[in-house]
Amino acid sequence: MAVDVVRESARAGRFVLWEESPRDGAQAKTLMTADFRVRLARAQGRIFGGNGHRHVVFAAGFPAVCPQEFEAVRRVAVEAEGAVSVSAVCRGTAGDVRQALASVRGGAHARIMVIVPASEAMAGVMTHGTAEQALAKGAALVALARETDDTVAVDVCLADASRADHALTGEHAAHLTEAGAGVVVLADTVGDQLPEDAASLFTTVRRRAGDDVVLASHLHNDLGLALANTLQALRAGIRVHSASWLGIAERSGMVATEQLLFLLAYRPERTRALLGDGRDPWWTAPDLTLLPDLARMVAAETGAPLGVTTPVVGDGVGTISTGTPFVHPRLFEPYDPLELLGIEPRVILTHLASARVINAVAARLGHDLDPDQTRAAATWVKSRAYGQGHAVVDEGEFADYLTALTVPSARTPR
């Protein structure tokens, strides 16, 4: 029987990321190729050095979808083994469980996750029975999987746990663990929780489940509260948390991987206060400088946009376009983008450009402007922005303007 490194990590107080972009991300109408899933899994493991398998569960896909999906999951299990803990996700049927086991069999730190409804409403839709019946069947499927191949860890995702009876959910989480489940994931499937609701869910279930149960969060972002709710789960002692690059997942998505990792790593003292138990959350602290390139890689593969206002990895990080932020950038930023993310600060020309910004861009382009030239250049930049109907002025056009302004032979004859 293989050591369950995810349970081991969580019980030691370490943070474990459950990466959902290849699997739940597909419900955001994205499709990652098998090649890309392998690349992403390996790259995500490198964030944590040699401890990627302890810090990342990579939900590689849903093998029952089609043969191509099975093959994609299989390739991740074989080609990214050891870099992360690879998981295949399946429905709560014996056939799906066996298929999921086959897709990851032989891989180091392989896992499967069985989806089981926790609420009466979800059980009626998914299994045409009661939640009690579905949860009992889930425990039997865990036992079946463990008997079939005890080298593969078996996890259970309790769908719609947020609308189930929390105390009973805790008792069932204990039964599932007794049957052999490694991690029991509590899902806010409909994304309707407020932070106080999330706190109640995880506190109550954890208390009723007991210390042997390792719980995880899977929180959707329909109200824009998935990150806040995940922090409540962290405060409640949960150490395994689902997330997805750029937040891609069903409907409005879920917690963004890059935001959650950055938030927990960029100010260690605040993280220690958040967790409240004094334990180090990392076997190896994440290399935050890898986040921007990985986010851009996912955006290019899936078509999910990186916007100007996307936190941590967006186009606006480290940019300056007005005077006071140019002189005192740290007064307007919560962190140093260059130091923590490797993002070089950039001064951008917009209609808000001050004289300092104009001169800084001009100097970068090789021009030393006198006061009259600075005023003229500022007038040109503002007129250009309003004339084109969007804020950012192309630096190539500005360079041509400066050449005409400062080099006598380049000026248009009168």
Quick: pLDDT tens for 115-157. 999 998 998 988 899 988 999 999 999 999 999 999 999 999 9
User: Could you tell me if 290 and 338 lie in one domain?
Assistant: no
User: Could you tell me if 203 and 256 lie in one domain?
Assistant: yes
Q: Tell me if 311 is assigned to some domain.
A: no
User: Could you tell me if 297 and 325 lie in one domain?
Assistant: no
| pLDDT, tens only, 344-392 | 888 889 999 989 899 989 999 999 999 999 999 999 999 999 999 999 9
Identify the band that residue 410 occupies on the pLDDT scale cut at 50, 70 and 90: low
Q: Are 63 and 100 in contact (CB under 8 A)?
A: yes
Q: Are 390 and 348 in contact (CB under 8 A)?
A: no
User: Could you tell me if 138 and 284 lie in one domain?
Assistant: yes
pLDDT over 60 (residue 414):
no
Distance CA 84, CA 335 (A): 29
Distance CA 200, CA 205 (A): 8
User: Could you tell me if 99 and 241 lie in one domain?
Assistant: yes
Phi-psi region of 61 (alpha: psi -120 to 50; beta: other; left: phi over 0): left
Q: Tell me if 310 is assigned to some domain.
A: no
User: Could you tell me if 228 and 333 lie in one domain?
Assistant: no
- End of a domain among 258, 278, 302? 302
Share of the chain above pLDDT 90, in %: 83
CB-count burial class (<10 Å; 0-12, 13-18, 19+) for 129 = middle
User: Could you tell me if 326 and 375 lie in one domain?
Assistant: yes
Identify the band that residue 324 occupies on the pLDDT scale cut at 50, 70 and 90: low
Determine the average pLDDT of the residues in 266-280.
91
Question: Any residues with CB less than 8 A from the CB of 20 and at least 6 apart, and which?
Answer: 59, 218, 242, 243, 244, 249, 254
Q: Tell me if 220 is assigned to some domain.
A: yes
User: Could you tell me if 246 and 368 lie in one domain?
Assistant: no
Q: Tell me if 112 is assigned to some domain.
A: yes
Residue with tokens 């499709």: 31
User: Could you tell me if 46 and 155 lie in one domain?
Assistant: yes
pTM here is 0.91
pLDDT over 50 (residue 413):
no
- CATH code, 274: 3.20.20.70
Mean pLDDT of the chain: 93
Q: Tell me if 312 is assigned to some domain.
A: no
Enumerate the β-bridge partners of residue 244.
256
Q: Tell me if 227 is assigned to some domain.
A: yes
Q: What residue numbers bound the domain in which 379 lies?
A: 318-414
Q: What's the structural domain count of the chain?
A: 2
User: Could you tell me if 272 and 337 lie in one domain?
Assistant: no
Q: Tell me if 309 is assigned to some domain.
A: no
Query: How many other CB atoms sit within 10 Å of the CB of residue 78?
Result: 16
Q: What are phi and psi of 114, to 5 degrees?
A: -100, 130
User: Could you tell me if 116 and 226 lie in one domain?
Assistant: yes
User: Could you tell me if 35 and 176 lie in one domain?
Assistant: yes
Q: Tell me if 412 is assigned to some domain.
A: yes
